[in-house]
Amino acid sequence: MRQDHHFGQRLSAAALVFLICLITSIQTAVAEVDSPPLFIHTLKLVGNKSVSSDTIYAELLTPRPPFFFWRSLPHYNPEDLRNDINRLKALYRREGFYHASISPEVQESDGRVDIRLAIQEGPGIQVIKIEISVVETDSQIQAKTLLKFSPLVLGQRFTESDFEKLKKEILNHLLDNGYPKGRVEGQVLLDPKANTAAVYIQVWPGPVCSFGRITIKGQQDTPEPLIQRYLEIKPGERFSLAKIIASQERLYELDLFQSVLIEPEEVPAHQREIPITVVVSEKKKRSLKIGAGYGSWDEFRARAILRYRNLAGGGRVLEMNSKYSRLETRFEGSFLNPRIFGTDLDLVVTSGLLWRYYPTFSDRALFTRSIVEKQLPWKTKAYIGHGLEFARPYGISDLALQLLTATQPGQLYRANMLVWGLSRSSIDNPADPQKGGQVYLVGEWAPRFMSGQLQFVQSSLDVRQFQNLGLKNVVLAARAKFGLIPPIQNTDQIPIYRRFFSGGPTNMRAYRMYYLGPRDSSGNPLGGESIFLSTLELRFPMYQEFRGVAFFDAGNVFSRLEDTDLGQLKYGAGFGLRYQTPIGPVGVEFAWPLNPIDRDKDTYQVILNIGHAF
């Protein structure tokens, strides 16, 4: 009986505890339901020096308040904030700080909370040793060479990302130099008390391998020799992953394929020839692109491009292009016939109609150009051919005609010329380049024996360079251009429609459209026979897809080649805001002339545009 009595007491006590817990849980739940939600007003970081705020914010579950005041504030969740403390400690350990502490401070007022995360980073883990050993001594891979790829530096802070990057760089070096079967392993000996790290990397290069047979699949109308021509890999050559990637990029540039896959095949461990399979999927034969936009100079503009791919097979491409704006209307057709007569030469024929409406003159033109083009090594392309154009300028002021004696309004000018060019492009992204460069060298020669009304030699060199400054989307961009068009033989002066003009949204942005260079007594621009332009831009991220730009322009147009004087350059500077889209940036820029032509009229320019200035 006594045992039953004690058992009953214990059962009653347990039931009482359960009832109290149940009531407490219900009260807590009711309180949470009844309590109004809290919203995050501010979220600030204090004390982070080595780890950027953007990196920390990206790690948080707690959302940041929006940048724009009209957007709703996010809800505050205390549980997310507690989890964020552990997440940030793990982040700091990955960044080499094993003694970091994070103290949250939350202040509540009127349904809003202000969150302050106080961070004490503490001492970082320093790298005291980096040892790379190549296990197979008969290979050509040297440990001293591999050390050059190390982002880890003796005496500097250790980070897990740099450790993984070191292993990846070594593996990529093996893949690019004939060792596709290589293996890289590593370990780190950390001493949190002494704040030191010793890094050990072991490398097994494996045998030297070469490319084997190349099999092409998936093509229907594109000839296999055309695909092979754009491959930078050849059977018997040393294996290189970089050449595989470059081959894939070159095939995409043809605009014939919607997908390109280049895969090494699996082979036995002893086999040193690696067969390659190229699988392509062709694009639709026809495509139509229509676009419209607005610019502060050309106002409303529209464009339509109709493209036929693999016309009658053979990789031939026919394109019809039309463009309209306040400054220019153009109808143009081009035909590309690759590998003419089974050679490595491409035939490109372009013809079109052009109407231009500039501040000083307007003109109508008919032009055609036939060139033979060849792909050269190092991403270089060269062409040579023939050009023919008919142009009729009009709308020229009497004052301008007094100085441009070779220009007759309404007269039909014929230019018959030889054309040539050389170009090279190594940029990583045409819509938003981060690194690389572009060089364009073009020329036209219209001699007397070709029976044209004009005789001249036109040449221009355009050099562009892009360099990432080590931070994401922080790019220094530079451009320099020099052009000349001196008259020769029976031509004493170049007519206005063929002269150089400068000023506007793509060059010398602080000045009015085409107003640089020689002018008549009323200030109307006359253009010139030589031109020099240069631009320096700093492009940097601001918030999400918004980016800023600061720029400096210098250049001018000169009446004749012998009048070229770099001491007479005009200068402009400004800044802008751009929003990044898949087709390029859209933005607004503000530019001020530093040595204006007319201080009353040349005060500043506001530029609305799509795309980079270059």
**pLDDT interval class at 3 (50, 70, 90):** very low
List C-alpha distances in Å: 149 to 188, 198, 456.
17, 17, 52
CB-CB contact of 134 with 203 (8 Å)? yes
**pLDDT interval class at 309 (50, 70, 90):** very high
281: amino acid identity, one letter: S
| SS3 call for 222 | coil
| CB neighbours of residue 574 within 10 Å | 20
Residue 342 reports pLDDT greater than 50:
yes
Which CB contacts under 8 angstroms, 24+ apart, belong to 300-304? 300/325, 300/326, 301/325, 301/326
Residue 138: what pLDDT? Answer: 64
Non-local (6+) Cβ contacts of 262 within 8 A are: 233, 244, 247, 248, 276, 277, 278, 279
**Spatial separation of the C-alpha atoms in residues 36 and 30, rounded to whole Å:** 12
**Spatial separation of the C-alpha atoms in residues 281 and 299, rounded to whole Å:** 39
Helix (H) or strand (E) holding 248: helix 241-253
**Spatial separation of the C-alpha atoms in residues 504 and 565, rounded to whole Å:** 21
**pLDDT interval class at 16 (50, 70, 90):** low
Which two three-digit tokens encode residue 311? 């016309």
Residue 13 reports pLDDT greater than 70:
no
Residue 416: what pLDDT? Answer: 94
Q: Burial of 444 by CB count in 10 Å (0-12 exposed, 13-18 middle, 19+ buried)?
A: buried
Round the average pLDDT of the chain to a whole number and report it. 89
CB-CB contact of 495 with 441 (8 Å)? no
Which residue bears the tokens 């939600």? 37
Which two three-digit tokens encode residue 424? 């090279």
**Spatial separation of the C-alpha atoms in residues 587 and 585, rounded to whole Å:** 6
Q: Burial of 552 by CB count in 10 Å (0-12 exposed, 13-18 middle, 19+ buried)?
A: middle
Give the pLDDT mean for 366-374: 96
Strand order in the sheet with 273-282: 210-217, 273-282, 257-264
36: amino acid identity, one letter: P
The angle subtended at Cα 497 by Cα 491 and Cα 502, nearest 5°, is 115
CB-CB contact of 224 with 177 (8 Å)? no
The more confidently predicted of residues 516 and 611 is 516
- CA nearest 48: which of 40, 39, 57? 57
**Spatial separation of the C-alpha atoms in residues 567 and 556, rounded to whole Å:** 10
Alpha helix segments (H runs only) across 292-363 = none
| SS3 call for 564 | coil
Residue 495: what pLDDT? Answer: 94
**Spatial separation of the C-alpha atoms in residues 408 and 419, rounded to whole Å:** 26
- E-strand ranges in 146-249 read 183-191, 196-204, 210-217
Angle of helix 241-253 versus helix 160-176 axis, rounded to 10: 80
**pLDDT interval class at 137 (50, 70, 90):** low
Q: Burial of 454 by CB count in 10 Å (0-12 exposed, 13-18 middle, 19+ buried)?
A: buried
Which two three-digit tokens encode residue 504? 């506007």
Could you report the per-residue pLDDT of 595-609, keeping only the tens digit for each? 998 888 888 899 887
CA Rg value for the chain: 34
Pairing of strands 530-543, 475-484: antiparallel
402: amino acid identity, one letter: Q
Residue 32 reports pLDDT greater than 50:
no
Give the pLDDT mean for 319-329: 93
Residue 248 reports pLDDT greater than 60:
yes
Residue 374: what pLDDT? Answer: 93
Could you report the per-residue pLDDT of 562-572, keeping only the tens digit for each? 888 888 999 99
Residue 210 reports pLDDT greater than 60:
yes
Residue 18 reports pLDDT greater than 80:
no
Which two three-digit tokens encode residue 116? 């302050």
Residue 28: what pLDDT? Answer: 46
List C-alpha distances in Å: 211 to 125, 216, 227, 231, 417.
43, 14, 17, 12, 45
- CA nearest 389: which of 366, 364, 356, 417? 366
**pLDDT interval class at 31 (50, 70, 90):** very low
Residue 588 reports pLDDT greater than 60:
yes
Which residue bears the tokens 């260079």? 517
Pairing of strands 380-394, 413-425: antiparallel
Could you report the per-residue pLDDT of 522-564, keeping only the tens digit for each? 888 999 999 999 999 999 998 888 999 999 999 999 998 888 8
Residue 4 reports pLDDT greater than 60:
no
Pairing of strands 273-282, 196-204: unpaired
Could you report the per-residue pLDDT of 154-208, keeping only the tens digit for each? 999 999 999 999 999 999 999 999 999 999 999 999 999 999 999 999 999 989 9
Which two three-digit tokens encode residue 363? 């003109």
Which residue bears the tokens 């360079």? 465
**Spatial separation of the C-alpha atoms in residues 46 and 105, rounded to whole Å:** 11
Give the pLDDT mean for 320-332: 94
Could you report the per-residue pLDDT of 456-512, keeping only the tens digit for each? 999 999 999 999 998 888 999 999 999 999 999 999 999 999 999 999 888 899 998
List C-alpha distances in Å: 123 to 86, 98, 99, 269, 388.
19, 8, 7, 47, 71
**Spatial separation of the C-alpha atoms in residues 589 and 241, rounded to whole Å:** 42
Which residue bears the tokens 């897809």? 545
CB-CB contact of 197 with 126 (8 Å)? yes
Residue 1: what pLDDT? Answer: 46
Helix (H) or strand (E) holding 25: helix 2-34
Q: What are phi and psi of 474, to 5 degrees?
A: -100, 110
| SS3 call for 531 | strand
Which residue bears the tokens 């990637």? 245
CB-CB contact of 336 with 316 (8 Å)? yes
